[in-house]
Amino acid sequence: MASHIKIFDTTLRDGEQSPGCSMNLQEKLQVAKQLERLKVDVIEAGFAIASPGDFAAVQAVAQAVKNCRVASLARALPEDIDRAYEAVKYAEAPRIHTFIATSDIHMKYKLKASKEEVLERAVSMVKYAKKYCSDIEFSAEDASRSEVAFLYEIFEAVIKAGATVINIPDTVGYTTPDEFYNLILNIKNNVPNIDLAEISVHCHNDLGLAVANTVAAAKAGATQLECTINGIGERAGNAALEEIVMALNTRKDVYGFTTGIETTEIYPASRLVSKLTGMRIQHNKAIVGDNAFAHESGIHQHGVLAHKSTYEIMTPESVGLTKNKLILGKHSGRHAFEERLKSLGYHLSKEELNKTFQEFKNLADKKKVVYDKDLEALVEEKSVNTKEIYKLGQFVINSGNTITSTAIVKLWNNEEEVEKVATGHGPVDAAFKAIDKIVGNGFTLEDYALNSVTEGEDAQGEAVVKIKLDEDIYNGRGISTDVVEASIKAYINAINKMLNELAWQEE
Ligand SMILES: CC(=O)SCCNC(=O)CCNC(=O)[C@H](O)C(C)(C)COP(=O)(O)OP(=O)(O)OC[C@H]1O[C@@H](n2cnc3c(N)ncnc32)[C@H](O)[C@@H]1OP(=O)(O)O
Ligand SMILES: CC(C)C(=O)C(=O)O
Ligand SMILES: [Mg+2]
């Protein structure tokens, strides 16, 4: 009989540690609800002590999610554990995830602590956490570069102290599949009380081996696999959930494992995380890249036409990629619109649906056919609950290759209309400078990217803007058939998110 593997998703914690991938509370809730639809076993919702915003997000996810375990990360410190429990205690199934580094390098240079001190802290903090919560995960950070005998000792001790899950991270993405397989097998065979805990692994992708190492560990006996949507995470990222799950699914003959994942929710989850973090998916990315199921060359096309199995090892439908059956355009109604959104993984409230339907009609007036990607862009732009403190009124731009660009931008701020003029290097720069004059600055533009959402002369442009205030990054998105308008909308969207967050912090 196939044995069961649990999927622990850390998109909202380790994924969010990717530079520029911060999400606000509403965005994290959206991701958490999608992870619930995906049926992951555990959602690591954040690192509660990291900031008031992280704390609030972990708490909100714990309250909103009903069918998954919800974890918060905590260092091996009482104040971290207090904060973690305070945030996850509302969950149906709360977990405290505490960690401490066990490698000589980390103990010597980072923690400045001896092995004995680290062992003592690990045990006492697991006992401390156990007073709050029955489900305690303990991670030996940098395990793959730790002395193996020390790992046996610390895992035995924390299990004795009450840890229910022991996690073996390859924190710096250093290990290889054979080596990691042996490490997991050795831990299984040399930690006397190992049967009292679940074995988990957590791999990073610095050498591009995160997924290979993770599935090797599963083969050796790990039953919880930690991963993120699209593989986002610290540095080169974490093991990608979609790749692990589809590898186990497609090669059941080799691995013999099942997961509880609803694979048809993979594609919507991937799009959602990409949109909310502004982290684009490379076209040839396995499972969820634009080309993952595309066949370009004649011999392949011929083969696929004869029988899909010639060049497809899994179906696009199995990961939630559906072919358009109904063409959406300006004559379409609410039913077809809602149906298509559901098939893309968007479950909107009535109010959100009505608002988005109006936007869809406006767009359909400008475009002959509204494609799925247009819809995704539209929903992502509209559905995140950011109060529109500033709204675009009008803009006029005078630009050319022999003149300095000048922009006149009018924004609505509540009932008041404010207009400013600025010059800049090109129309977008001029418009952003005019907006800066209205809003006041203090923040800087960190990144700006423009992509075409669909093809053709009526394609929509999607602008993604990242602005930075102190250490915080805010992503904004805007779409329009006019790229300058898309850029202005994205800039205003990022500013609104920043102002929403500041207002929330003041409350
Ligand atoms: C491998 C990983 O992914 S670990 C998770 C990494 N994620 C993050 O760090 C994101 C969130 N982090 C933060 O917001 C901040 O780092 C905080 C709030 C946790 C701590 O901030 P600060 O108190 O300013 O400390 P700072 O980050 O500069 O340094 C880390 C401190 O924690 C200590 N520390 C690191 N790991 C652990 C641990 N597992 N258990 C106990 N202490 C630890 C370090 O030794 C250092 O201690 P020191 O201040 O006594 O020298
Ligand atoms: C906190 C731990 C699990 C981690 O993220 C790592 O070691 O990579
Ligand atoms: Mg990690």
Asked whether residue 284 is assigned to any structural domain, the reply reads: no
| Domain extent at residue 357 | 322-383
337 and 261 in a common domain: no
Q: Is 204 annotated as a binding residue?
A: yes
User: What is the per-residue pLDDT across 421-458, written as a single tens digit (0 to 9) for each?
Assistant: 999 999 999 999 999 999 987 899 998 989 887 767 77
Report whether 357 contacts 471 (CB < 8 A): no
- How far apart (Å, rounded) are the C-alpha atoms in residues 166 and 236? 24
* Residue that finishes a domain, picked among 277, 297, 313: 277
Q: Please count the CA atoms within 13 angstroms of the CA of 178 that sit on its side-chain side.
A: 0
- How far apart (Å, rounded) are the C-alpha atoms in residues 364 and 184? 55
Please check the confidence at residue 57 and state whether its pLDDT lies above 70: yes
Q: What is the pLDDT of residue 382?
A: 61
The label of the residue with tokens 């009008």 reads 394
Number of folded domains that form the chain: 3
User: Which ligand is located closest to the Cα atom of residue 47?
Assistant: 1
63 and 106 in a common domain: yes
User: What is the per-residue pLDDT across 270-298, written as a single tens digit (0 to 9) for each?
Assistant: 989 998 888 889 999 999 998 899 877 87
Asked whether residue 316 is assigned to any structural domain, the reply reads: no
Q: Is any ligand 2 atom within 6 A of the Cβ of residue 10?
A: no
202 and 335 in a common domain: no
Read off the DSSP letter of residue 228: B
441 and 361 in a common domain: no
Helix (H, G, I), strand (E, B) or coil at 133: coil
Asked whether residue 268 is assigned to any structural domain, the reply reads: yes
User: Given pLDDT bands bounded at 50, 70 and 90, which one contains residue 1?
Assistant: low
Least confident of 334-343, 375-384, 495-504: 375-384
Q: Is any ligand 2 atom within 6 A of the Cβ of residue 75?
A: no
468 and 361 in a common domain: no
**Predicted-complex ipTM score:** 0.98
- How far apart (Å, rounded) are the C-alpha atoms in residues 434 and 410? 9
Q: Going by C-beta distance under 8 Å and a sequence separation of 6 or more, which residues neighbour residue 362?
A: none
244 and 116 in a common domain: yes
Average of per-residue pLDDT values in the chain: 92
Please check the confidence at residue 157 and state whether its pLDDT lies above 90: yes
- How far apart (Å, rounded) are the C-alpha atoms in residues 319 and 328? 22
User: Given pLDDT bands bounded at 50, 70 and 90, which one contains residue 14?
Assistant: very high
18 and 93 in a common domain: yes
User: Given pLDDT bands bounded at 50, 70 and 90, which one contains residue 384?
Assistant: low
User: What is the per-residue pLDDT across 88-122, written as a single tens digit (0 to 9) for each?
Assistant: 999 999 999 999 999 999 999 999 999 999 999 99
User: Given pLDDT bands bounded at 50, 70 and 90, which one contains residue 304?
Assistant: confident
Q: What is the pLDDT of residue 24?
A: 87
User: Which ligand is located closest to the Cα atom of residue 472?
Assistant: 1
* Residue that finishes a domain, picked among 249, 277, 305: 277
Domain holding 439: CATH number? 3.30.160.270
Nearest alpha carbon, ligand 2 atom 6: 171
Considering only CA atoms, which of 269, 165, 175 is closest in space to residue 224? 165
77 and 210 in a common domain: yes
Q: What is the pLDDT of residue 194?
A: 98
Asked whether residue 297 is assigned to any structural domain, the reply reads: no
Domain holding 248: CATH number? 3.20.20.70
Q: What is the pLDDT of residue 324?
A: 55
273 and 193 in a common domain: yes
353 and 262 in a common domain: no
User: What average pLDDT does range 27-56 have in this prediction?
Assistant: 96
- Cα–ligand 3 centroid distance for 179 (angstroms): 19
* E strands present in 260-399: 390-398
Global confidence as pTM? 0.85
Considering only CA atoms, which of 169, 251, 259, 183 is closest in space to residue 221? 183
* Residue that finishes a domain, picked among 335, 355, 383: 383
Report whether 169 contacts 201 (CB < 8 A): yes
216 and 363 in a common domain: no
C-alpha radius of gyration, the chain, whole number = 25
354 and 265 in a common domain: no
The residues facing 466 across adjacent strands are 447, 475
Testing ligand 1's pocket by substitution, the residue of 21, 54, 110, 234 carrying the most ligand atoms inside 8 A of its CB is: 110
Asked whether residue 439 is assigned to any structural domain, the reply reads: yes
Asked whether residue 171 is assigned to any structural domain, the reply reads: yes
Asked whether residue 454 is assigned to any structural domain, the reply reads: yes
